[in-house]
Structure formats: structure tokens, C-alpha cells
Amino acid sequence: MAQWPLHHRVFLGLLVAGLLLQGLGLRVPAAGGWRAEVKAMGAERSLHPASWPSFLGLESLGASQEPLQIPRNGSAPLLVAVEVFVSNVFNVDILRYTVSSVLLLRMSWLDPRLAWNETVHPRRAFTLPWDSIWTPGLTIQEALWVDWRDQSPRARVAPDGNVELYLALTTETNCDFELLRFPRDLSDCSLSFYALSNSVMELEFQAQAVNEVVSVKREYVLQDLKTQIPPQQLVPCFRVTLSLQNTALKAVLSLLVPGEALLLADVCGGLLPLSAAERLGYKMTLLLGYLVFHSSLVQALPSSSSCNPLLIYYFTVLLLLLILSTMETVLLAGLWAHDRQGARGSPSPAPRGEEHRDHGDSGPPQDQEGRGGEGKGTGRSRAEVADSIFFRVYVVGVVCSQALFAGIWMWVVCKSDPAPGKAAPHGGQPRL
Ligand SMILES: *[C@@H]1O[C@H](CO)[C@@H](O)[C@H](O)[C@H]1NC(C)=O
Ligand SMILES: *[C@@H]1O[C@H](CO)[C@@H](O)[C@H](O)[C@H]1NC(C)=O
């Protein structure tokens, strides 16, 4: 540590900074999207050039080189390196199509105006309030809200003028989940960061993302992280894409297993003889139970204009199958009862045809009501034949529908319709 700032230099620095302040006037607060955001949250900002160390070569700054303006890099844009550390994805709301995440941004760029001669002032680095120098203002396109953790972060300046600024933020962003395979879905969610106060001629991002999520006890796990510089933008932009995989077992256990069990129970109900009085009660109970399950289930699933969860269709088909099989039971039980009435009227069962089972006692049907199994004494009635045919068709139909859903699940790829906004380039007036 050497004997640095000399008194007269401090005085000179303050003087120049004061002059600069006056020269900048009111343009300062408008610079940068997130500055505006921070301001909107009620934190009053004021400039702190007084906190600049006096050795910062401020004396050499002319009016054309205002420190709050973006550093120039000849005719090329200034390169700002951004590293995005994703430290948490703490909430994924598929009903609202939102993702909440915690990010840390590390931005660094070269501002030669802040460089100092290290041999004269041997100091490794110092920090400055973010609003006393130029910093890129960032706005997240998909964000519903952004909470910048530190209201007045400090930038670290190295002797060569390399500025490093860390920004921690919590944000809730909109994401178009692809929910066709809902309990096992994998979606890409992007966060597009725009520096709206600069043009692509002035500023260029070089982005990189690091997955720093440590917790795995989550429904949605961050599988992959990509960064991208979208081409042909009017304002500098970089995009971070989070690949979120749903790993929850809960939905499988609470939705698929009961659905399959119910269908199986319904198929088994078809094995009860038509004459058994319990069969109708059994099917009705299943249907009623399922109706309750169905409405709460459909409430729990998200929906959209395209690529709805396959489960919605699956459960609707399940409902139709249950209704079909219950209706069949009602109709054929009615027909069976009607046949029995007719059989009581005419004692000979022969004209009904289809005597597959000629064995046993083919006496006249003297038992009318109640206990099952007595119909077979007359051979099989029309209703029973129809029932056995229906049962086979129903089993085939159930198996086919399950196979169809399994096939769609495995092979069909659903791409949502392109967003209307994707066609138009983002940004304000071109400043090219
Ligand atoms: C200036 O632009 C050149 C060419 O794009 C680049 O290599 C260099 O890193 C830039 N310098 C700064 C300070 O951004
Ligand atoms: C730093 O200051 C020393 C002493 O005044 C001088 O010799 C040297 O050239 C300076 N270095 C730079 C990079 O200006």
C-alpha cells in the first residue's frame, strides 16, 4: 500500500466529477432497463462519482467521454462477457405456465477510461457503485417480475480497466411447456436478456451459462442449460435456455395407476353373469367413482391451444369406455329380463336359435327372479350371447385404445404453434 490519493488530486477529481455531473444532467436515470426497474421499486438513486478514487485519470476525460456512456471500441461493438449461474429453479407452475428461478449474472467488460497506472498507484482493484459508471441495463423479455437482490451492487475495477459486475436476481418467467407427455414432460424455457438502451453497433454479448443447482429434491430437474445469441436482433441480446425435466412420480402414481386399475376393474365386471343383480350395481359404482375422479383430474391438468397433455384425452376415452360398458350392462340386463318374461310366456326356448350348449337340463325356465346362473338352464338367451360378444369386442377395444395411447406417447412429437410474436423482430426503433 503506497501513499495514494494526494489531497490536491482528490480535490481535482471531485471538481471534474462535479462538472461531469452537471454536464450529464437528467439523461442518466433513463439509461438501462433494469435501472429503470430498480428506480420504479422506489429506491432513489444518486450518482456517486465522489466515491471514485482520484487516480482514475478522470482529468483526461473530456465531455465527449462521459463515464456514464458506453465505452467505445473503435468501430466494433464493445464485448460484454456474461456468465449466468443458475443456482435454483424453485417453482414450476404448469397451470400458470411459469418458472421461478434464482440466477447470478457475472458481467465483465473493458472500460479503458477506468484504467490506472499500477506502478504509480499499486492497488489491485477497487469497487465502485454501479450507477457511477456505465453498466449494461438488462431487461428479461419473458419475466413477469424480477427481484434484483442487491439494490446497489458494486462493480469491481481492475487496473487495466476491466470491470466486473455481479447481479443476483430472482425472477418468475413465462414458459411454454410442452405437456403432451405430462408426467414425463421435458420443456425448454428461455430467458432473453435485452440491453434495450444500446444498439447492436455499440454492444455485443458473449454469454455462457453454468448449472449450479445443488438440490435434486424437485419435481422439475434442470437437465441442460444452453446460451445463445439470437441472430438479427436490433438490440443486444442473449438467451439462456433451461431444459426442465419432470421427474415426479406422484403424477404417475396418483393419475395413471388409478385410471388403469379402474379400467381393469371394469373389464373384470364384464365377467359377472348378466343375470347377477350385482353387476349393474358394480358398474354404476365404478362409473360414479370415476366421474368424481375425472372432474378433479381435469382441473389438475393444464390446458392450452395446442399440445394438451395426452392424459386429458386418455381420461376422456376412459370415461367413454366406462359409460359404454355401463350402458351395455343396463340395456342387455333389460333385454335379458324381457327375454325371461317372454320365455315364461312360451315354455319352449328352442325358437331362439343359438343353442351352443345342449347339455344339461333344458327344462322350461321355472326360476324367474334373483339368483344368478339360472338362465343357463335354458341355454343362452340372446342377451347373454350379445353380452359375450360385447365383452370380447370391449376387451379388444380397451387393449387397442391402450396400445394406441402408448404408441402416441412413444412416437408422436407435438410442436406448439409458433408464437405470433416470433415473426416480428424484437426491439424498438432500429439504430443501425
Ligand atoms: C473490440 O472489438 C474487437 C473486435 O470485435 C474485439 O476483439 C475486442 O475484444 C473488443 N474490445 C473490447 C474492449 O470490447
Ligand atoms: C506508469 O507510470 C510510470 C512512472 O510514471 C511510467 O514510467 C510508466 O510508463 C507508466 N505506465 C503506463 C502504462 O503508462
In a domain, 113, yes or no: yes
The whole-angstrom separation of Cα 368 and Cα 277 is 13
Confidence at 143, pLDDT banded by 50, 70, 90: very high
Burial 385-405 (b: 16+ CB within 10 A, else e): bbbeebbeebeeebeebeeeb
What residue's CA is closest to ligand 1, atom 13?
A: 110
Ligand 2 center from residue 117 Cα (angstroms)? 6
267 found inside a domain: yes
Q: How confident is the model at residue 424 (pLDDT cuts 50, 70, 90)?
A: low
Say if residue 216 is in the same domain as residue 330: no
Residue 260 and residue 405 share a domain:
yes
Residue 235 corresponds to which cell in the numbers above? Answer: 438490440
Distance, in Å, from the CA atom of 185 to the CA atom of 178, rounded to the nearest integer, reads 7
Q: What is the DSSP letter of 77?
A: P
Is there a single domain that holds both residue 242 and residue 269? no
- Predicted local distance difference test score (pLDDT) of residue 52: 62
User: Does the pLDDT of residue 64 top 60, yes or no?
Assistant: no
Mean per-residue pLDDT, 178-203: 90
Longest alpha-carbon distance in the chain: 127
Tally of domains within the chain? 2
CA distances 54 to 1, 18, 66, 83, 160, Å, are 16, 13, 16, 31, 16
Residue 241 sits in the same domain as residue 103: yes
| Ligand 2 site, CB within 6 A | 117, 119-120
Q: What's the mean per-residue pLDDT of the chain?
A: 77
- Band of residue 346 on the pLDDT scale cut at 50, 70, 90: low
Q: Which range has the worst mean pLDDT, 188-202, 225-239, 289-303?
A: 289-303
Residue 102: give its domain's CATH number: 2.70.170.10
Chain CA centroid to CA 9, Å: 55
* Same domain, residue pair 180 and 218: yes
Whether residue 180 is contained in a domain is answered as yes
Assigned C-alpha cell, 415: 410442436
Report whether 203 contacts 80 (CB < 8 A): yes
Which residue is closest in CA terms to ligand 2's atom 12? 117
Shared-domain flag, residues 282 and 374: yes
Q: What is the pLDDT of residue 17?
A: 38
- Residue with the larger pLDDT of the pair 211 and 20: 211
pLDDT band at 378 (very low <50, low <70, confident <90, very high): low
Atom of ligand 2 nearest to the CA of 117: 1
- Does residue 416 sit within a domain? no
The CATH number of the domain holding residue 400 is 1.20.58
Mean pLDDT value of segment 346-374 = 42
pLDDT greater at residue 407 or residue 53:
407
Residue 179 is placed in which grid cell? 405437456
Q: How confident is the model at residue 370 (pLDDT cuts 50, 70, 90)?
A: very low
Best probe residue, ligand 2, of 4, 120, 123, 160 (max atoms within 8 Å of C-beta): 120
Predicted confidence (pLDDT) at residue 37 exceeds the cutoff of 80: no
DSSP assigned state of 378:
T
State pLDDT tens for residues 299-334: 888 888 888 889 889 999 999 999 999 999 999 988
Pocket lining: 78 vs ligand 1, CB cutoff 6 Å: yes
Q: Are residues 371 and 295 in the same domain?
A: yes
**Is there a single domain that holds both residue 122 and residue 151?**
yes
Q: Which residue has the cell 438513486?
A: 45
Q: Is 354 left (phi over 0), alpha (psi -120 to 50) or beta?
A: left
Last residue of a domain, one of 195, 223, 247: 247
Of all residues in the chain, the percent with pLDDT exceeding 90 is 39
What is the C-alpha separation between 363 and 349, in angstroms, rounded?
9
pLDDT of 347:
54
Asked whether residue 419 is domain-assigned, the answer is: no
Tell me, using a 6 A CB cutoff, whether residue 110 lines ligand 1.
Answer: yes
The predicted pLDDT at position 55 comes to 61
**Residues 194, 327: one domain?**
no
Q: Among the atoms of ligand 1, which is closest to the Cα of residue 76?
A: 2
User: pLDDT confidence of 407, banded at 50, 70, 90?
Assistant: very high
> Within this chain, do residues 166 and 284 fall inside the same structural domain, yes or no?
no
**Per-residue DSSP letters for 255-318?**
IIHHHHHHHHHHHHHTTS-TT-THHHHHHHHHHHHHHHHHHHHHHHS---SSS--HHHHHHHHH
Residues 258 and 119 in one domain: no
- For the Cβ of 76 lying below 6 angstroms from any atom of ligand 1, the answer is yes
User: Mean pLDDT lowest for which of 35-39, 193-197, 340-344?
Assistant: 35-39
pLDDT band at 36 (very low <50, low <70, confident <90, very high): very low
Atom of ligand 2 nearest to the CA of 118: 1
186 shares its domain with 302: no
Domain contains 128? yes
Long-range Cβ pairs for the range 345-354 (8 Å, 24+): 349/378, 349/379, 352/379, 352/381, 352/382, 354/379, 354/380, 354/382, 354/385
CA-closest residue to ligand 1 atom 6: 79
Query: Region 374-398: what's the mean pLDDT?
Result: 80
Of 188, 212, 247, which residue sits at a domain end? Answer: 247
Please give the residue range of the domain that contains residue 111: 72-247
Closest ligand relative to 119 C-alpha: 2
Q: Using CA atoms in the order 9, 13, 14, 16, what is the torsion angle rounded to 10 degrees? A: 140
* Per-residue DSSP letter, 166: E
